Structure 1
């Protein structure tokens, strides 16, 4: 195949391309590492907040248990119950004090015994929790108060702020945590503020307890992700650098080798090297030229004329066949537009199409533009369905073939009898012409099975009222056999080989000998 070695156009281009390839692993790896680090930090923040919330709920559960024990004592004289309060404080791991309330008055406390102070019920969030920067006993030390009430009696359980500080520091060694009750928030250093700090913005999240009215925030300072990558991802950085170096070196070596076949095809398209050759189709009875089949050839600048079987399959795999066919139809239009006076009315021009042409309706506009270059009825366009790729019946294909038929475009099945999709096409699509593959024609004189198959194809076309074109006709015996069996059109080397436009029109001036 003439897709020969083409050197890169300059050392600078090769080097710049190689450096770009070398940088690619880093360009791809950095976002990957960043995403991995960000996900890890996010998960750590969520886990730290969840663990701190669970531990805080256990503290409050302990306070609730102590309150359940002493609440029935509310309203009794303080001297009778103070020892019980102190006993509960002693057995509770988190409670600092327990206080009894009756009729809105704190009248007994485990710390000082008889006491008298009004209860500020409005300061408790949901009537249950209150976070203070300090109280009378410890004015510079945070305290959390758990409240439980029934009728006009209540219990207040004080939890030392140091327990909250320990909880935040243990669970927040890598993540900054804060606990909020209402508008008050306690930090890991023990300070109580009226709003959560805003410096911990990285992956900030806030979790609320479903059992108690408190919230926990977790987050990292800005730049935590990059800092984590610098500290923990040194092996990954080294790996991506090595991969980049290897990729750059490999790219440079490849740039010195042959360009890919796909690149060669794209270059040939840009250079307009794909040209049409035409093989005439003859009417069997009259011997008159009826039309032509258009065959694509590659006019390579150094390798000469390249036959289609050496590049068409590759063009189909690379998705280039549609623009190549579009350019081919433009060439055909230019070849025939100024010479229609030499052609009989309704002269047929066949163009091969594949499954790629049937995935949208663009082919309709291309055929309309093609026919617009000729007087109405002067040219009949035939689209020949090739079978290298199966054309699946869809709403698109149904609309496509319907609109093409309305424009007067005819549909043919090329190389009928050799592809797995021939009969499927007859079943799924309304076609006008069958082109019998040359393999059947070549064995007319020597292979009885092929003659039987051919006769069956002829019978099938007669029943379906389809026109027949026999391809690959090479001698007069084949011509006679086909004509006797009603084959209307013949095509093959017996009449003419594929040729460019100029010799084609010279040939058309002289009717062939049938």
Structure 2
């Protein structure tokens, strides 16, 4: 296990205490370390702001492309172009609405159809961009409006403020960022203000766009340099103290210094070491692959392939499971899009989620972005609810699952029958699949109680009209037992082990033989 080699950071501190403080080397070294820390922080701030600027320019490029596609419709009756506006909104990953303008009046929108409101041209910076705290549709949610004109006609493209928030949060994990459009500022909290709260920050940087009238500002809160020195330069202080003969010993001990398990997970996430593996789900009616379940593995640089039970529980406790799942969804999308032609229409792809994914509606945007990469109906996305943490029914979760269902996302309960929340999920959420836990399947041939419990699950699914998937099928006898009782979808080592993407698509190229039916 990777964490078995991690050591305590206290060893270096105890060593420094026992050796004492070398006053003169510290007096000479601290200014150098301060300069180095300042240079590093400033470089990180500049990179974060620049990356955010590039990404926002890409969003606005998408809006400009959408505007160019429909500007020829400006001036036509709204009834004739309303559907085209909505189609363009669906095609654009960042555009929330497309609006047509004629003679200074917004007369048609993709959201509400015919409309009548003045354009208010003076509020647009250089006549192009406007950052609003909200509008009639979402008064409490920011929106960035891109404006394109052609004579008396024009197009307004609304970019949802959530995309700006996500951009600031992703790029601002180390340094707080803000976006400024004229006199309007937005931060990662989503609040739009008329002032720059970061004006007194350390290493304040500005990344101005040369193509659009906006700037990205970044900077660290006061005192960051000293905190950075305290957190990252302890080894250097020790080296200054244990000069000479003890320097080698000190360097050796510092070389053995390891990071905490949480930091190791963050390092692995930043290094893209978490990779998807795919395990097929077989349709016993025709022997073909119905879809795959996506399983996370850790490709550690020294420990090799680490199974999920050794890091997933820790990731959930540290609050890292959401960004890890988000990164894996991006990798899965890249894997499948590159070979989409090999996937049969309606190919099912399941991904595990936990209670942490249900605390807000961000999962909806991630699923929408995922599905938008494929032709409509080509891939069916299934979210499997795990039971390590209870998902409580709240207004947010109800909105979340309603929005997911509107996208065509299916819901499954993973390891059904082993957790206390299974029946609660059936009561609170509309479920499409129940995945029978492998523990029931493993004892089918020898454990009477498991057979009775399994029969009850089969009867429950039939009454609720919910499809079943049996996990952990490892023998032909288990397969026959399940198929004879109407379980159509099977998953387990009898058919295939979890595999990386290259092996998955190699296997898809081999058509199933009639003997593969079980």
Where on the TM-score scale, by shorter chain, does this alignment land: which range?
A: 0.5 to 0.7
Whole-Å separation in 1 of the counterparts to 2:296 and 2:384: 13
| TM-score normalised over the length of structure 2 | 0.52
Compute the displacement of 1:5 (Å).
3.5
Task: Show the counterpart of 2:273.
Answer: 273
- Specify whether residues 285 and 513 from structure 1 end up closer, same or farther in structure 2 by C-alpha distance, changes over 3 A only: closer
Whole-Å separation in 2 of the counterparts to 1:273 and 1:473: 29
Compute the displacement of 1:513 (Å).
4.5
Task: Show the counterpart of 1:454.
Answer: 454
Whole-Å separation in 1 of the counterparts to 2:432 and 2:424: 15
Compute the displacement of 1:503 (Å).
0.6
Compute the displacement of 1:6 (Å).
7.3
CA displacement 1:433-466 (0-9 Å, x = unmatched): 0000000001111111101100100000011010
Counterpart check, 1:5 vs 2:9? no
Compute the displacement of 1:338 (Å).
2.0
Whole-Å separation in 2 of the counterparts to 1:331 and 1:288: 25
Task: Show the counterpart of 2:132.
Answer: none
Query: Retained in 2: the 8 A contact 1:418–1:437?
Result: yes
Query: Retained in 1: the 8 A contact 2:284–2:483?
Result: yes
Counterpart check, 1:319 vs 2:319? yes
Task: Show the counterpart of 2:507.
Answer: 507
Whole-Å separation in 2 of the counterparts to 1:355 and 1:432: 18
SS at match of 2:496: coil
Whole-Å separation in 2 of the counterparts to 1:294 and 1:346: 16
SS at match of 1:323: helix
CA displacement 1:8-43 (0-9 Å, x = unmatched): 9xx99x98xx99xxxxxxxxxxxxxxxxxxxxxxxx
Task: Show the counterpart of 2:470.
Answer: 470
Compute the displacement of 1:428 (Å).
1.0
Please report the RMSD computed on the Cα atoms of aligned residues, expressed in angstroms.
Answer: 2.6
Task: Show the counterpart of 1:417.
Answer: 417
Query: Retained in 1: the 8 A contact 2:6–2:261?
Result: no
Counterpart check, 1:408 vs 2:408? yes
Query: Retained in 2: the 8 A contact 1:495–1:513?
Result: no
* 1:380-459 matched pairs, under 5 angstroms: 380-459=380-459
CA displacement 1:173-209 (0-9 Å, x = unmatched): xxxxxxxxxxxxxxxxxxxxxxxxxxxxxxxxxxxxx
Whole-Å separation in 1 of the counterparts to 2:450 and 2:511: 33
Whole-Å separation in 2 of the counterparts to 1:428 and 1:312: 26
Structure 1, unpaired ranges of 5+? 20-243
Query: Retained in 2: the 8 A contact 1:276–1:297?
Result: yes
Count of residues in correspondence between the two structures: 281
Task: Show the counterpart of 1:369.
Answer: 369
* 1:213-224 matched pairs, under 5 angstroms: none
Computing the radius of gyration over CA atoms, which structure comes out larger, 1 or 2?
1
* 1:287-366 matched pairs, under 5 angstroms: 287-366=287-366
Whole-Å separation in 2 of the counterparts to 1:293 and 1:315: 20
Whole-Å separation in 2 of the counterparts to 1:502 and 1:513: 24
* 1:153-164 matched pairs, under 5 angstroms: none
Query: Retained in 2: the 8 A contact 1:471–1:491?
Result: yes
| TM-score normalised over the length of structure 1 | 0.52
Whole-Å separation in 2 of the counterparts to 1:407 and 1:428: 19
Compute the displacement of 1:284 (Å).
1.6
SS at match of 2:280: strand
Whole-Å separation in 2 of the counterparts to 1:424 and 1:398: 14
* 1:108-119 matched pairs, under 5 angstroms: none
Whole-Å separation in 2 of the counterparts to 1:360 and 1:440: 34
Whole-Å separation in 2 of the counterparts to 1:6 and 1:441: 41
Whole-Å separation in 2 of the counterparts to 1:262 and 1:5: 11
Whole-Å separation in 2 of the counterparts to 1:340 and 1:451: 40
Task: Show the counterpart of 1:225.
Answer: none
